[in-house]
């Protein structure tokens, strides 16, 4: 057994790894919880002795060698969804006495991997990855290997992304059912050419697309490739792209973020298409954009507040109470009806 | 001379304070710059010897005992302006090898003071205060005393706020001239009842109001109290508030942020008032909201990208090169013309 950290300070994650048990179990041993078997307790204590991991070290935090610091990584904090998430997380962490190191990694795979390493080198208590693009594009398991590596030393909490692995905890909106429901509603209003607008192959975008496809399949409609339309999450870009595609016919739109949906409204205005009479439009994230545009946008509230709250609650359960927590949480979305649909 | 830090590590700010010179001067002494007089050099070196501040300690950073960490504090990172600022700052700091500790203080004076203390206790190289509400409401000098206290140990950079004091560096948009110019334009189009919408008494809001008043005074118009109208930076709130004030007459609006201006557009739509024929509306910050609404909004681009870039440039000049930097920078705004005005 070799200890691989650069410096020689042993922490609770090392003890868990070397003992072959979870962090929660190590925490229970340290806190003298009766829930641990004598055999496990002896194994953990032996590792602690071997590595000279003394109770003194634990004393620094609440039973842990905590720096009371959380690393939050998101691709772009100027994005409204991520900014809102960081705001909720920071507020809640501050209330629990934790500080935040913020990193904005961009979307490049290599930059992102390096940024995770950098944040881990600061000895954070947990790493939080905000935004579903961290969960890779599903084309290769290798894209998420850096997250499993990170989780070998530090608990990783993912917000709206799902990666399987030890010590990785994911909280996701139920995007599949949200787009499934709105697509079903559109079909029930006799919409047959439903355009699906997306801007990435992230975990969340894939869930949304799968919900859209499931509703179509269930109703016996074909899934047409040309109606799954990739754009950018930008009003003008989406408007101009739709204006260019002269042969694209659609009577309704499900977009994976509000800015794309507003782009559709701008397109409809230029083309003289009446919303919602001739065209129904549904956005996502229920941002300020959805009440800024005309007509105001029916949008899916992805319940980011609850997602963040549950994430921090779980983090505290794990780190400070040594409780076992769910690795996967799913939160239901709400459909917020406004004037861009007739349902 | 007594050293007042809690721990006993002496840093460059202590040396500057104890020597009675600027940080830049200490840095020059350490870097052997010829710009420092022999007398000053001897004084600084004497303090360094007395406090056992050895060149070894300096070796950690680039000539400084740097943690390469910057504390960024803003009231609310979910706010689009602040999120965009934090995004620009973080990107630029990361490129220079600095990490960010992010704090969201809210708007309460006491919380804010405590948050500054907390961040300083992390031994950050600089403190950045994002948003003009940190500059107080001008009613009392006491409101900004905590910033001067912070600056006694750590350089403070303010983004769009201005506080006078040693070691405080401010970069501000020229909000005064921006509202002065648009108000003049409205007057030249025969608008005589110009509503000024604002949501705070922050430094920036005061500059904007002063510009509005200056243009009115210069043209010989009275400044009417009822036309300076306080609301929240929220679309629905502003719309509803204007609907309530049945006797408020206005033919044009200058708002201190885009959401308020969009609220005016919503009000106009309900009242059947044509924009811009009967009502001209001007927003601020040129956010995504300004292209989301109908008609699209003429808005003032406060050049946040340049403000952030100059702030980081100055920080690097000060910390790593020991250069003297301007304590006050002003950046001109642009007027972005769209369809809510007829100029």
Name the nearest CA neighbour of A101 among A82, A75, A128, A83.
A128
**Which residues have a Cβ under 8 Å from the Cβ of A206 and sit 6 or more positions away?**
A138
A68: nearest CA partner in chain B: B122
Q: What is the pTM of this model?
A: 0.83
Average pLDDT estimate for A54-79: 67
Can you give the three-state secondary structure of chain A, one letter per residue?
A: CCCCCCCCCCCHHHHHHHHCCCHHHHHHHHCCCCCCCHHHHHHHHHHHHHCCCCHHHHCCCCCCCCCCEEEEEECCCCCHHHHHHHHHHHHHHHHCCCEEEEEECCCCHHHHHHHHHHHHHCCCCEEEEECHHHHCCCCCHHHHHHHHHHHCCCCEEEECCCCCCCCEEEEEECHHHHHHHHHHHHHHCCCCCEEEEECCCCHHHHHHHHHHHHHHHHCCCCCCHHHEEECCCCHHHHHHHHHHCCCCCCCEEEECCHHHHHHHHHHHHHHCCCCCCCCEEEEECCCCHHHHCCCCCEEEECCHHHHHHHHHHHHHHHHHHCCCCCCEEEECCEEECCCCCCC
Residue A230: strand pairing partners: A198
More confident residue, B66 or A324: A324
Vertex B159: Cα angle to B156 and B161 (nearest 5): 90
What length is written for chain B? 343
Say how far apart CA A298 and CA A280 lie, in whole Å: 9
CB-hemisphere CA count at 13 Å for A131? Answer: 26
Chain B contact probe: residue of A102, A117, A237, A264 with most B CBs at under 10 A: A102
Measured between beta carbons, the chain A residues lying within 8 angstroms of B103 are 90, 94, 99-100
What does the pLDDT look like over A93-128, one tens digit per residue? 999 999 999 999 999 999 999 999 999 988 899 999
Write the DSSP string, B212-276: HHHHHHHTT----GGGEEE--S-HHHHHHHHHH-TT---SEEEESSHHHHHHHHHHHHHHT--TT
Measured between beta carbons, the chain B residues lying within 8 angstroms of A103 are 90, 94, 99-100
**Which is it for the CA torsion B108, B111, B117, B121, positive or negative?**
negative
What does the pLDDT look like over A119-137, one tens digit per residue? 998 889 999 999 999 998 7
Write the DSSP string, B119-139: HHHTT-SEEEEESGGGG--SS
What pLDDT score was predicted for residue B341? 98
Write the DSSP string, B138-193: SS-GGGGHHHHHHHTTS-EEEES----STTEEEEEE-HHHHHHHHHHHHHHTT---
Say how far apart CA B40 and CA B53 lie, in whole Å: 17
CB spacing of B291 vs A236 below 8 angstroms: yes
Burial class (CB in 10 A: 0-12, 13-18, 19+), A274: exposed
The partner residue sitting opposite A294, judged by closest CB among B83, B104, B294, is: B294
CB spacing of A104 vs B84 below 8 angstroms: no
More confident residue, A292 or B54: A292
Name the nearest CA neighbour of A97 among A333, A322, A319, A330.
A319
A83 pLDDT higher than 90: yes
Say how far apart CA A61 and CA A64 lie, in whole Å: 5
The pLDDT mean for chain A works out to 90
Share of chain A above pLDDT 70, in %: 92
**Which is it for the CA torsion A147, A151, A157, A160, positive or negative?**
positive
Say how far apart CA A216 and CA A96 lie, in whole Å: 45
**Which residues have a Cβ under 8 Å from the Cβ of B272 and sit 6 or more positions away?**
none
Note the ipTM here. Answer: 0.82
What pLDDT score was predicted for residue A290? 98
Nearest CA-CA distance, residue B105 and chain A, Å: 9
> Cβ atoms within 10 A of the Cβ of B76, count?
19
Contact A205, A198 (CB under 8 A): yes
The distance from CA A213 to its chain's CA centroid, rounded to whole angstroms, is 22
* Gyration radius from chain B CA atoms: 23
CB spacing of B77 vs A90 below 8 angstroms: yes
Say how far apart CA B144 and CA B132 lie, in whole Å: 12
Task: Write down the residue that tokens 């500080």 correspond to.
Answer: A99
Two structure tokens written together for A270? 């230029």
Contact A85, A308 (CB under 8 A): yes
What pLDDT score was predicted for residue B31? 63
Say how far apart CA A4 and CA B32 lie, in whole Å: 40
Say how far apart CA B126 and CA A243 lie, in whole Å: 48
Each residue's pLDDT, cut to its tens digit, for chain B (343 residues) gives 333 433 456 777 788 888 888 877 887 777 666 778 888 888 888 888 787 765 433 333 333 456 789 999 999 999 999 999 999 999 999 999 999 999 999 999 999 999 999 999 888 999 999 999 999 877 788 899 999 999 998 999 999 999 999 999 999 999 999 999 999 999 999 999 999 999 999 999 999 999 999 999 999 999 999 999 999 999 999 999 999 998 999 999 999 999 999 999 999 999 999 999 999 999 999 999 999 999 999 999 999 999 999 999 999 999 888 888 999 999 999 999 999 999 8
CB spacing of B78 vs A101 below 8 angstroms: no
Say how far apart CA A261 and CA A238 lie, in whole Å: 8
- Angle of the A23-30 helix axis to the A12-19 helix axis, nearest 10: 110
Name the nearest CA neighbour of B250 among B228, B270, B219, B221.
B228
The partner residue sitting opposite A87, judged by closest CB among B76, B101, B293, is: B76
Name the nearest CA neighbour of A214 among A253, A181, A261, A173.
A181
Q: In A, what residues contact B, Cβ < 8 A? A: 72, 76-78, 80, 83-84, 86-88, 90-91, 94, 99-104, 118, 122, 235-236, 259, 262, 269, 288-289, 291-294
What pLDDT score was predicted for residue B327? 95
Q: How confident is the model at residue A203 (pLDDT cuts 50, 70, 90)?
A: very high
Task: Write down the residue that tokens 């545009």 correspond to.
Answer: A293
Q: How confident is the model at residue A5 (pLDDT cuts 50, 70, 90)?
A: very low
Two structure tokens written together for B298? 């003429």
B234: nearest CA partner in chain A: A288
Say how far apart CA A27 and CA B315 lie, in whole Å: 42
CB spacing of B293 vs A294 below 8 angstroms: yes
**Which residues have a Cβ under 8 Å from the Cβ of B13 and sit 6 or more positions away?**
B23, B152, B153, B154, B155
Contact A257, A201 (CB under 8 A): no
Task: Write down the residue that tokens 């948003």 correspond to.
Answer: B131
Say how far apart CA A42 and CA A64 lie, in whole Å: 19
Say how far apart CA A55 and CA A251 lie, in whole Å: 66
Residue A335: strand pairing partners: A300
Vertex A131: Cα angle to A315 and B232 (nearest 5): 90
């Amino acid at each position: 057994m070799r200890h691989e950290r650069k410096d020689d300070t042993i922490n609770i994650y090392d003890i868990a790894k070397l003992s072959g048990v979870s962090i929660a179990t190590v925490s229970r041993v340290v806190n003298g919880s009766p829930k641990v078997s004598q055999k496990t307790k002896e194994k953990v204590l032996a590792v602690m002795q071997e590595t000279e991991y003394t109770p003194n070290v634990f004393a620094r935090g609440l039973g842990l060698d905590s720096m009371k610091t959380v690393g939050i990584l998101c691709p772009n904090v100027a994005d409204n969804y991520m900014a809102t998430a960081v705001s909720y997380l920071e507020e809640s962490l501050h209330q629990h006495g934790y500080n935040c190191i913020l990193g904005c990694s961009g979307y490049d795979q290599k930059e992102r991997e390096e940024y995770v390493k950098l944040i881990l080198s600061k000895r954070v208590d947990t790493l939080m990855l905000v935004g579903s693009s961290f969960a890779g594009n599903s084309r290769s398991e290798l894209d998420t290997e850096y997250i499993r590596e990170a989780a070998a030393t530090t608990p990783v909490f993912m917000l709206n992304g799902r990666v399987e692995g030890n010590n990785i905890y994911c909280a996701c909106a139920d995007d599949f059912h949200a787009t499934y429901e709105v697509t079903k509603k559109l079909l029930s209003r006799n919409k047959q050419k439903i355009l699906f607008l997306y801007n990435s192959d992230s975990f969340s975008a894939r869930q949304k697309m799968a919900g859209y496809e499931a509703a179509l399949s269930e109703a016996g409609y074909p899934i047409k490739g040309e109606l799954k339309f990739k754009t950018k999450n930008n009003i003008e870009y989406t408007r101009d792209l739709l204006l260019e595609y002269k042969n694209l016919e659609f009577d309704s739109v499900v977009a994976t973020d509000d800015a794309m949906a507003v782009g559709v409204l701008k397109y409809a205005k230029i083309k003289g298409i009446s919303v919602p009479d001739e065209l129904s439009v549904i956005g996502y994230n229920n941002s300020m954009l959805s009440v800024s545009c005309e007509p105001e946008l029916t949008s899916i509230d992805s319940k980011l507040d609850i997602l963040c709250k549950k994430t921090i609650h779980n983090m505290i359960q794990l780190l400070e109470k040594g409780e076992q927590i769910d690795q996967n949480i799913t939160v239901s979305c709400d459909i917020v009806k406004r004037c861009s649909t007739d349902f």
